[in-house]
Amino acid sequence: MNVATVFFAALVTALATGLGALPLLLGRRIEGPGLGVATAVAAGFMVGASVGLFREGVGTSLGRTVMGAVLGVVFILVTSGLLEHHRHLEFGALRGADARGALMIVGVMTLHSFTEGIGVGVSFGDGAALGVLIATAIAVHNIPEGLAISLVLVPRGVSVARAAAWSVFSSLPQPLMAVPAYLLVEWFKPLLPAGLGFAAGP
C-alpha cells in the first residue's frame, strides 16, 4: 500500500459524486411531482448516510461525536446568518435566495467531505482491505449527495454538466485529506468521531 493508491482510491470516491447528476441528464428536465419525489429520495439517502456516520462515530466515542454534531450545527447557523445579510449574493448565474441556497448546499457538502477523506485515509492505515471497503462505501453514498446537489442547482438554471462539476468539487477534500490521514493515522484517529458527527449533523 502506498500514498498514490490511497490518493487514487479517494479520488475515485470524489468522482463518484458526479454520477449523482446523471439522472437529471437522462430526464433532461424533471418538473412537478417527479422533482419532489426525486428530491425526497436524495434526502432519504442522506438521512441513511447520516445514520451510518453517527453509528460509526458513536462506536468510537459518543461524546466526541455529539460534540462534532453540535459544532456542525452551530457552524451552519452562523454561516447561514452571515449569508442572510448578503442580498446581492451571486453563485455562478444564480442570484439572491437561489444563490444562497446553492452556496449553502455546495459549501456544507464540501466541508463534510473533509471528514470522509479522513475516514478513507485512517481506514487504509488499518489495512488495504478495510481501506477499499470504506472507500467503496463512501463512493456509494457520494452518489446521492451529488444527486442532492444537482437537484438543488439544475431546477434553478444551472446546467447538468456544471452541477456534476460542482458535485465533484464538493468531494475534492476527500483525496486531499485521505493522504495526510493515512500518513499520520495515529494523529487523525482521535479526530474521526468528532468529524463524523460534524458531517452527519449539518
Is residue 17 within 8 A of residue 143, CB to CB? The reply is yes
Q: How many CA atoms lie within 13 A of 87 on its CB side?
A: 0
What φ, ψ does residue 81 adopt, rounded to 5°?
A: -60, -40
Closest residue by Cα to residue 39 from 149, 202, 138, 122: 149
H-run or E-run covering 193: helix 192-200
**What torsion do the CA atoms of 50, 51, 53, 57 make, to the nearest 10 degrees?**
140
Closest to another protein by CB, 1 or 140 = 140
Closest to another protein by CB, 79 or 180 = 79
Q: Which residues bind another protein (CB under 8 A)?
A: 31-33, 35-37, 39-53, 55-56, 72-73, 76, 80, 101, 104-105, 108-109, 112, 133-134, 136-137, 140-141, 144-145, 148, 151-152, 155, 199-202
Residue with cell 488495504: 128
Residue with cell 455529539: 66
C-beta of 103: minimal distance to another protein in Å?
11
Closest to another protein by CB, 11 or 56 = 56
Closest to another protein by CB, 2 or 28 = 28
C-beta of 145: minimal distance to another protein in Å?
8
Q: CA–CA separation, 57 vs 79, rounded Å?
A: 24
Closest to another protein by CB, 133 or 184 = 133
- Alpha-helix runs per DSSP H in 126-172: 128-153, 160-171
C-beta of 159: minimal distance to another protein in Å?
19
